[in-house]
Amino acid sequence: MSGPPPVRMTVFTALLAAMTAAGAYIAIPVGPVPIVLQNLFIFLSGLLLGTRWGLACVGIYLLAGALGLPVFAGGSAGLGRFAGPTGGYLVGYLPAVALMGWIAGRRPHRRSADGVAVILGALTVYLCGVPWLMQVTGMGLGKALLAGMLPFLPGDAIKATAAVVIAQAVRPVIEGQDR
């Protein structure tokens, strides 16, 4: 068996799911899609947990919200959030974390691989979120990009950079090489 023990990974998976929920409380309403800190923790989940555990982390987070726990932006919850303007972004976290985990796992401990992983992960979230925003609100592509992507790019660039730096520092702890 390679990698950290399952119990250790379960703890880090639960911790990152909880941090994602906490990050959703830091929300700035700027339209149908708020600015949130939860993306940072989604990025970290992909980089630090890999595909399998990252998917488990995001799955726990989404399931908690679907079951009514107030873990979505601004403390909201319920299945209705998936049918609203932010539903595509929420669902987009799953393929994004899988992709980031796969890329980061192929080139472990490389800052450049983490950077590419986070950029592609963020794009994946937008590829799921913007079309869903268009569908739910009836916006055209240009308006949906203005409301659901462009204002978030600078903040996501900062969160992506922070995620890469944090992942490089925390990865040895998660992998048990901190002894």
H or E, element range at 4: none
Domain ranges of the chain: 6-172
Amino acid present at 16: L
- Determine the Cα–Cα distance for residues 77 and 100; give it in Å rounded to an integer: 26
- The residue whose two tokens read 């490089």 is 168
pLDDT at 96: 98
Pairwise CA distance, residues 175 & 9, whole Å: 9
Flag residues of the chain having pLDDT under 50.
1, 179
What contacts 128, CB < 8 A, 6 or more positions away?
88, 89, 91, 92, 95, 96
User: Residue 1's pLDDT is what?
Assistant: 43
Class of domain 6-172: mainly alpha
Report d(CA 107, CA 57) in Å as an integer: 21
Amino acid at 92: G
Strand ranges, E, within the chain: 27-28, 35-36
